[in-house]
Structure 1
């Protein structure tokens, strides 16, 4: 059962492996260029396991100690996971002890796979989601550690390296757009974000935009569910 779930999950995670290794190595290089030892990116990538926040944390560690600011900033950067978690409540039912790791290890990429992919009937759903989550975390931790190790010997200008995270989200969006015949969810996200950005500015639009997206999805849930059933 476990082997079948692993073999089913692996192909879905391989494209993410390429991206995570590159992103993780970029993060490892960045941390080494800022003077941190190899242990910092390795342990931070394992325990924090939030790519965008790890890049931000690198700067937080170099600034004055301000736990309240760090808390609020972390909440803003990773607030989307609250919405992810709500939408995965039914998915994680009846998964036993694996549920705790699935909650801890959920990232954008694992959420995308576990939320949209239904494994074959002969594959245990809980183990499938577990291996998707585990493999993605291994890719990220491995990439960050490798980048930190290589950063001990290779030095180069790291200006702009933090943009790789934005680039990954753009690629994921394009991939989802091409694979889905219904572009309403993507358009809802784009239009809602654009409206909030114009009204509230770049520093304040993220949470309101997410709330607006969730509200629209909730109000239009019946139509979206009908479209999903039709697609299946």
Structure 2
């Protein structure tokens, strides 16, 4: 009876969205810890570390912000770099939009707060097969935001202890999460071709101008490539 009840709950879009998203965001749990540990060791307080995460809610942007702060850069350069890195979320929204037409704008607004690489990957995988659902989208976003902030709070709590994140492999957690998301999408030769092209462009941009340029030019290349092939 209990097993049946659990199965029925999982059929509900909101619960299903949370359920499907959990493995992906759980794999990135250590990303939040790494961010918070670095922030605390840089001198940010527990409140500052958590507040930055809750307002930005973007792992790559938060790490970029820490990098600038570490160099003594504050104010508009930090805001601008965050906006540029998170600009890819506009593309995510445009991609999911056609599947969510006519659905609750309130749920979409709330869910969009946690539209991340992870939730986009989960939702586009689901919507392309079963159609869009605002409740599923909101469930996915709820799981992502909650678990990410919990991981940050955990890291902020232990972050005042000095230890080397690279020595225990935590620095690889961020990369591993994105590799997992990428592999879910590589289902055609076209997408493999996009991977190779974007990899080359991003590598050159990283070498010439740094990580922010790598993200920007890599994203732009993928958009042009997909538009040209009508993907």
Query: Does TM-score exceed 0.5, indicating one fold?
Result: yes
Distance of aligned partners of 1:151 and 1:165 in 2 relative to their CA distance in 1, 3 Å threshold:
same
Q: How many pairs were matched up?
A: 217
> Which residue of structure 2 lines up, in the alignment, with residue 156 of structure 1?
163
Whole-Å separation in 2 of the counterparts to 1:18 and 1:216: 31
2:62 is matched with 54
**1:184 corresponds to 2:190:** yes
Quick one: structure 1 residues 186 and 95, their matched pair in 2 at CA, closer, same or farther if it must change by over 3 Å? Answer: farther
- Whole-angstrom distance in 2 between the partners of 1:30 and 1:214: 33
Q: 1:45 aligns with which of 45, 53, 59?
A: 53
SS in 1 for 2:14: helix
Residues 175, 200 of structure 1: alpha-carbon distance in 2 compared, 3 angstrom cutoff = closer
Task: Say whether the 8 Å CA contact 1:5–1:127 is kept in structure 2.
Answer: yes
Q: Cα distance, 1:158 vs. partner?
A: 3.5
Point out where structure 1 has 5 or more consecutive residues left out of the alignment. 225-232
TM-score by length of structure 1 reads: 0.79
Match of 1:71 in 2: 79
Q: 1:27 aligns with which of 35, 45, 55?
A: 35
CA distance in structure 2 between the partners assigned to 1:198 and 1:66 by the alignment: 27
Provide the TM-score with structure 2 as the length reference.
Answer: 0.79
CA RMSD of aligned residues (A): 3.0
Match of residue 227 from structure 1: none
**Change beyond 3 A, Cα 1:196–1:19:** closer
**Larger % of helix: which?**
2
- In the TM superposition, structure 1's runs of 4+ consecutive aligned residues that sit over 6 Å from their partners are none
Specify every segment of 5 or more residues in structure 2 that has no aligned partner in the other structure, as ranges.
1-7
Deviates more, 1:42-51 or 1:191-200: 191-200
Residue 207 (1) aligns with residue 213 (2): no
Residue number among 80, 95, 103 corresponding to 2:112 in the alignment: 103
Question: Relative to 1, partners in 2 of residues 1:105 and 1:200: Cα closer, same or farther, differing over 3 Å?
Answer: closer
The answer for the alignment partner of 1:228 in structure 2 is none
* Residues 208 and 59 (structure 1), Cα distance of their counterparts in 2 relative to 1, 3 Å cut: closer
Query: Which residue matches 2:3?
Result: none
Question: C-alpha distance in 1, partners of 2:184/2:98?
Answer: 25
For 1:28 and 1:173, the matched residues in 2 are separated by: 25
- Give the drift of 1:147: 1.2
CA 165–39 in structure 1, closer or farther in 2 if over 3 Å, else same: same
User: Is the CA contact 1:20–1:139 (under 8 Å) kept in the aligned structure 2?
Assistant: no
SS at match of 2:144: helix
1:9 aligns with 2:41: no
Moved more, 62-71 or 138-147: 62-71
